[in-house]
Amino acid sequence: MTGMETHGDAELKKELDATLHARKELGEEYESALVDSFLEKVEQRFDSVVDRRVRRQLAETQMVVARGERTPQSSDSFGERFGFGIVSLVLAIPLSGIGGGVAGLPGLLVAWGGIVGVNIVQAARLHPNFFGRRRKSSQNSDWEN
């Protein structure tokens, strides 16, 4: 926990103690109002913590985008890459048979060209810098002038 959250927790504990003390002094007829007041303070505390975390996450994402880095995506998992490779190989069998049976060697080459092409597009999507693409940098600006 951060120091701010610990401080907030101490404040809530004080609020709870004050609410319980007030209930003892005022009696049960004010219990509902006291509980509602305390719950409102808990809700405000919760909202401020969530808001702070969302702002921090947004700032981190904006920094990653500003640096030109890719943001991590849930679809970049090993399972997706492995599954894509397996599906490509499984589909390669009937596509090879159809291409080779209908058009011979040219059909087989077209089928495998398509399979390789789809896999290259997938690799480029997951690893944009893999095929030698460079990000725009200040070094390139000398050539533009």
**What single string gives the DSSP state of each residue in 64-120?**
HHHHTPPPP-GGGSHHHHHHHHHHHHHHHHHHHHHHHHHHHHHHHHHHHHHHHHHHH
pLDDT digits (tens, 9 = 90+) for 28-78: 888 888 888 888 888 888 888 888 888 888 888 888 878 776 555 555 577
Task: Please report the pLDDT score of residue 15 as a whole number.
Answer: 87
Mean pLDDT within 115-143: 68
Report the distance separating Cα 4 and Cα 15, nearest Å: 16
Q: Is the pLDDT of residue 145 over 50?
A: no
The domains of the chain are located at 3-67, 74-132
pLDDT digits (tens, 9 = 90+) for 4-27: 556 667 888 888 888 888 888 888
